[in-house]
Chain A
């Protein structure tokens, strides 16, 4: 898809590139975590940038990164919807159910050994296993360093929801972390 000629304003293009392209790695990182697929993430980021360019005239701030993320998130949600109707769609529900039960079943003894370190791939796998929308909140906070307010704006939910989702996400990650730790023994 190419932006049509009526929007072909060199000055706008220059300002947009300058403002938005520095966040390309951030956007790609978010898309990878949200979609858990390389090709889908690339398509989503490209679509995000083209949509952002179209709406750049109405962009009034405050910060470019959360603004881009809000657009990217909508693109990704459209992709979920498409997957759900596609015959080969990745079914999200059983996984989130599995995660929720894992959270509840983890033994909760106060005195525990130090949380061990894992390599990047292992941690990414643990994060990727979190159910939507906890994964989204978690990644926006822990990897993208957004504030609760910014996350609330990106995900279009109240700040209180961000707080509870984040608590839930970290609890699930902790359980998965401990399980991984147990397995690695």
Chain B
């Protein structure tokens, strides 16, 4: 191999783009050629120096806003959502988590969708606490509560008895969130009510639980097997986490069982 050839090919060697045969040839040339060996070393040093330097630019916030504004909004506010677009609205939660690392964009979406839905979830929880509004079907028996939902929603919320784990099933209710009907399974911990809201999502990926606090209520939110869950209560975050963990464990046991 000539130096001329090696001077081009050594770059592909540095970049790991050479096949094994050519790589060996270039390496053999460099071993016997001080000129090419020195060049190779310099290129690697420059490359190392560049890797240690931040050479990227960050898009200005203003540019991000301009692009956001110029693109059609994911959910136009003026249009009354159809049932399908509502489901997409819930699916948005998983989309947000997928791009959570991208900063502002995720925050903007959270404001638009996640936070709005969470605020509605809390409102629904508050409504449920008013006299006579907590349950449509009163039963501590999961085999009564679960069939009750059938035909009332396009998704059947899982109803799991957690009495043995310290969370008493008290019934189920149809509620109204994001302009649509949504299933709520009601539990009690001592005198505290836990509403577990369940909605369908297009995304079947599992999304680990997050805990937020809104208006003094804790919300534990997670997704699994195409369902979004929001557990809302005034019990402490630790107890609500325990509730969520027990619920998910029981779901898992049901599937395996």
Q: Which A residues fall within an 8 A CB radius of B?
A: 1-3, 7-14, 16-18, 21-22, 24-29, 32, 41-42, 45-46, 49-50, 53, 108, 110-112, 114-120, 123-124, 127, 141-143, 147-148, 163-164, 166-167, 170-171, 173-174, 177
Contact = CB atoms under 8 A, between A and B. Distances in A.
Contacts of B69: 2
Nearest to A171: B7
Nearest to B37: A110
Contact of A45 (B59, B72, B76): B59
B53 interface: yes
A21 B8 contact: no
B47 A112 contact: no
Interface in B41-80: 42-43, 45-47, 49-50, 52-60, 62-64, 66-67, 69-76
B74 A148 contact: no
B38 A111 contact: yes
B102 A22 contact: yes
22 contacts: A7-B72, A10-B72, A10-B73, A10-B74, A14-B75, A14-B95, A17-B71, A18-B98, A18-B99, A22-B101, A24-B67, A25-B56, A42-B63, A45-B59, A45-B63, A46-B70, A50-B71, A110-B38, A117-B53, A120-B55, A166-B11, A171-B7
Given A3-B70, A10-B88, A18-B98, 17 more contacts: A2-B70, A3-B72, A7-B72, A10-B74, A11-B74, A13-B72, A17-B105, A25-B57, A32-B57, A42-B63, A46-B63, A111-B38, A127-B55, A148-B12, A170-B11, A170-B46, A177-B46
Nearest to B48: A115
Chain A interface secondary structure, helix, strand, loop or mixed?
A: helix
A45 B9 CA distance: 34
A40 to B, nearest CB: 12
Contacts, number: 145
Given A3-B71, A14-B88, A14-B95, A21 B11 contact: no
B34 A110 contact: yes
B193 interface: no
A148 to B, nearest CB: 5
Contact of B11 (A2, A7, A8, A167): A167
A16 B72 CA distance: 10
Contacts of B71: 3, 13, 16-17, 49-50, 53
Interface of B: 7-9, 11-12, 15, 17, 34-35, 37-39, 42-43, 45-47, 49-50, 52-60, 62-64, 66-67, 69-76, 85, 88, 92, 95, 98-99, 101-102, 105
Given A22-B99, A123-B55, A174 B46 contact: yes
Contacts of A24: 59, 63-64, 67, 102
Nearest to B85: A10
A2 B62 CA distance: 16
A49 B105 CA distance: 14
Contacts of A111: 34, 38
B64 A112 contact: no
Given A45-B63, A115-B45, A163-B11, A13 B102 contact: no
A29 B46 contact: no
List 10 tightest A-B contacts by C-beta distance, closest first. Answer: A28-B59, A115-B45, A14-B74, A110-B38, A8-B72, A13-B72, A167-B8, A22-B102, A29-B57, A24-B59
